[in-house]
């Protein structure tokens, strides 16, 4: 079993014990630097990162392969990568980039195939001069989303 397979196996076993935590990225460099990025249905606590780090250290043999390990939660402003992340962020505002446009909108719904976005836009009035605010909604397949980031408001 290769080092990468051992890391994958140990990480899978660890995350089975923590069903609300899920893997976003696992990066193993040629220099055996292991980077694990996690997210969770209710966020990721520092203790979750500590638990995963200790579990991996206990199940990987440094005598067999020396490595460095970094376990972290995805940061604010990181792009959404998994459907599970979209589902947990329903009701929040996203900046969504597609091939055609960039939309800042509320994530109204997310299923296994599509997201539904809603936002207000200013459009010319049908009668008369000026503009009016209209509510827009878009059903967007995941495949057409190039990047989606949750906006943070203070």
Q: Would 27 be classed as within a structural domain?
A: yes
Q: Residue 38 is part of which domain span?
A: 3-73
Q: Would 91 be classed as within a structural domain?
A: yes
Q: Would 129 be classed as within a structural domain?
A: yes
Q: Check which CATH number belongs to the domain holding 92 and give it.
A: 2.30.30
Q: Would 78 be classed as within a structural domain?
A: no
pLDDT tens column, 13-40:
999 999 999 999 999 999 999 999 999 9
CA–CA gap between residue 88 and residue 81 (Å, rounded): 12
**What is the pLDDT of the chain when averaged over all its residues?**
94
Q: Check which CATH number belongs to the domain holding 61 and give it.
A: 3.30.300
Q: Nearest to residue 58, comparing CAs of 5, 23, 1, 13?
A: 13
Burial (0-12, 13-18, 19+ Cβ within 10 Å), 81: middle
Q: Would 97 be classed as within a structural domain?
A: yes
Residues 16 and 61 in one domain: yes
Q: What is the pTM of this model?
A: 0.86
pLDDT tens column, 88-104:
999 999 999 999 999 99
């Amino acid at each position: 079993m290769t080092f990468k397979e051992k890391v994958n196996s140990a990480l899978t076993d660890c995350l089975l014990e923590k069903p609300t935590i899920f893997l976003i990225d696992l990066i193993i460099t040629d220099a055996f630097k292991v980077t694990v990025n996690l997210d969770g249905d209710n966020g990721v606590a520092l203790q979750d990162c500590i638990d995963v780090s200790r579990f991996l250290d206990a199940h990987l043999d440094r005598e067999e392969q020396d490595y460095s390990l970094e376990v972290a939660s995805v940061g604010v402003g990181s792009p959404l990568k998994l459907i599970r992340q979209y589902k947990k962020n329903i009701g929040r505002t996203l900046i969504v980039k597609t091939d055609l446009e960039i939309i800042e909108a509320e994530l109204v719904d997310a299923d296994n195939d599509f997201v539904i976005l809603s936002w207000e836009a200013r459009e010319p009035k049908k009668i008369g001069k000026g503009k009016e605010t209209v509510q827009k909604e878009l059903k967007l397949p995941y495949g057409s989303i190039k990047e989606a980031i949750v906006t943070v408001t203070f």
